[in-house]
């Protein structure tokens, strides 16, 4: 704790605010509460978690864990099952118990009294379950059924969240962002509305499933279309306008690296990483940059199953092997979608363990750390890292990039994502090519006739910043090119 206190004080002295992760859907199975809870059926902490007897010699219901397998684990000592929507080592707390909620609120306020500046609230839409915990429909006769409908964004959730806010967040000048899987755009006022919203922002994940087939994340869908991504992001952009604030992201600890997923990490690594940054960071909302994204860290392709660490991947390997899948059939989806893609150590330099630690890290470093690292990119004025800095400065200097309305252009174009940000007379035009070939586009007439100043570009930017008499109707973008124009 003295180290944390020093971190907080020195961060604040530098004008940096510290946001902590808040996990209140579950605890570790090694937490003192759970140790007590599982010690006997009549322990005072028994009802802090969700315990049920088995049914017909099986689990209490047919719910599947988010990581695969049953959402229930048998405790041999007491003969009952506890619920774990995530890992077997993460038993779910029983939010129906008012004592649980009170203890959580006391813990939250302890941290806020210490002076932290807010929370990213983990898995918060899962805390309310269907009270009777019924079996879910199982038309496909699966052993376990994906259980989203049983515990995600259920009726009564907002009652809990309003109480949470009133007892904690509302008493402090802080920022909150909820990991809100399953929240619909129609619920914007309740979740992020300025007057009554329970959080300042939420992470919604609709765009994070665009490359997944009907079988889920391990069922790859390489033929996703750019127009689909535009539709999803634009719907949240326009739907939140005047009602709430978007949380903008392409990466986090649960999803693959964006340059490997939406760009080209082989032939156009730097260009596509810069383009993706341009595309999402100039939309309306708060951009989040995940560690390593700012240097273009890529997905990792380990050769051995034993090199992976993520519990979700481990479950996939076990269940896939039991179903008769080959090693390549197990690894290929992991190369594309596995969470360990985002969990290899941060690549600081070309030294041992990429400069992350002198000790052996929990997982191997991505072998490309020699070429992709912070130290190297700090020395290169045209690196991805230097481009992120320029992009952040641009966003901070142009009010239209923060407060301007959003308008999608060329919605059907499958090569170029184009949009306008408008604030009064100020207009920014953002053009981003998702294509490996030259992409010729025709801009709408009212945009084409505007005089323009190229503020930023990722292709020979120093040579391309000019002021034109008019932008012109036809433009040709290089592969993965990004341009940001100020229209005057």
Task: Identify the active-site residue in 75, 80, 122, 426.
Answer: 122
* Sign of the CA dihedral running 260, 264, 267, 270: negative
Q: What are phi and psi of 441, to 5 degrees?
A: -130, 155
The single residue of 59, 64, 179, 398 carrying the catalytic annotation is 179
CA distance 256 to 35: 35
What does the block give as tokens for 311? 């519990």
* Whole-angstrom distance, CA of residue 49 vs CA of residue 72: 12
To the query of whether residue 5 is one of the catalytic residues in this protein, the response is: no
With a CB cutoff of 8 Å and minimum separation 6, the contacts of 159 are: none
User: Are the C-beta atoms of residues 212 and 221 closer than 8 Å to each other?
Assistant: yes
Tell me if residue 47 is catalytic.
Answer: no
Active centre residues (catalytic): 122, 179
């Amino acid at each position: 704790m003295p180290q944390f206190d020093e971190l907080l004080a020195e961060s604040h002295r530098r004008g940096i605010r510290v946001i902590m992760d808040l996990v209140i859907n579950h605890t570790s199975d090694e937490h003192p509460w759970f140790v007590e809870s599982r010690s006997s059926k009549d322990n005072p902490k028994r009802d802090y978690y969700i315990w049920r007897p088995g049914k017909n010699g099986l689990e209490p219901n047919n719910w599947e864990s988010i990581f695969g397998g049953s959402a229930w684990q048998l405790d041999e000592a007491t003969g009952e099952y506890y619920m774990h929507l995530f890992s077997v080592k993460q038993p779910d707390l029983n939010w129906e118990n008012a004592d649980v909620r009170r203890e959580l609120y006391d813990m939250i306020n302890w941290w806020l009294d210490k002076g932290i500046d807010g929370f990213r609230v983990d898995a918060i839409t899962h805390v309310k379950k269907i009270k009777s915990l019924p079996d879910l429909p199982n038309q496909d006769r699966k052993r376990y059924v994906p259980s989203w409908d049983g515990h995600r964004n259920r009726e009564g959730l907002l009652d809990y969240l309003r109480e949470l806010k009133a007892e904690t967040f509302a008493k402090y000048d802080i920022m909150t962002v909820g990991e809100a899987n399953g929240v619909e755009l129609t619920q914007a006022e309740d979740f992020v509305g300025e007057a009554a919203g329970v959080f300042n922002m939420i992470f919604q994940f609709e765009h994070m499933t665009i490359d997944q087939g009907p079988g889920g994340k391990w069922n790859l869908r390489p033929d996703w279309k750019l127009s689909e991504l535009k539709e999803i992001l634009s719907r949240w952009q326009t739907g939140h306008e005047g009602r709430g604030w978007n949380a903008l992201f392409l990466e986090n600890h649960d999803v693959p690296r964006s340059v490997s997923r939406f760009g080209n990490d082989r032939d156009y690594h730097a260009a596509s990483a810069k383009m993706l940054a341009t595309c999402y960071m100039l939309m309306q909302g708060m951009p989040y940059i995940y560690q390593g994204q700012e240097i273009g860290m890529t997905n990792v392709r380990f050769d051995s199953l034993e090199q992976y660490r993520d519990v979700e991947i481990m479950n996939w390997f076990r269940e896939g092997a039991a179903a008769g899948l080959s090693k390549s059939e197990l690894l290929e989806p992991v190369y594309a979608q596995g969470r360990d893609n985002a969990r290899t150590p941060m690549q600081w330099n070309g030294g041992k363990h990429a400069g992350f630690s002198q000790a052996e890290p929990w997982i191997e470093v991505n072998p490309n750390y020699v070429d992709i690292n912070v130290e190297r990119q700090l020395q290169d004025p045209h690196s991805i890292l230097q481009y992120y800095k320029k992009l952040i400065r641009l966003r901070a200097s142009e009010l239209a990039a923060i407060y301007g309305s959003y308008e999608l252009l060329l919605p059907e174009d499958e090569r170029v994502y184009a949009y306008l940000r408008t604030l009064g007379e100020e207009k920014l035009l953002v053009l981003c090519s998702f294509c490996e070939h030259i992409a010729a586009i025709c801009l709408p007439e009212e945009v084409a006739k505007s005089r323009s100043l190229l503020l930023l570009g990722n292709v020979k930017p120093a040579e391309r910043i000019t002021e034109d008499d008019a932008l012109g109707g036809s433009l040709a973008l290089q592969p993965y090119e990004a341009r940001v124009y100020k229209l005057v």
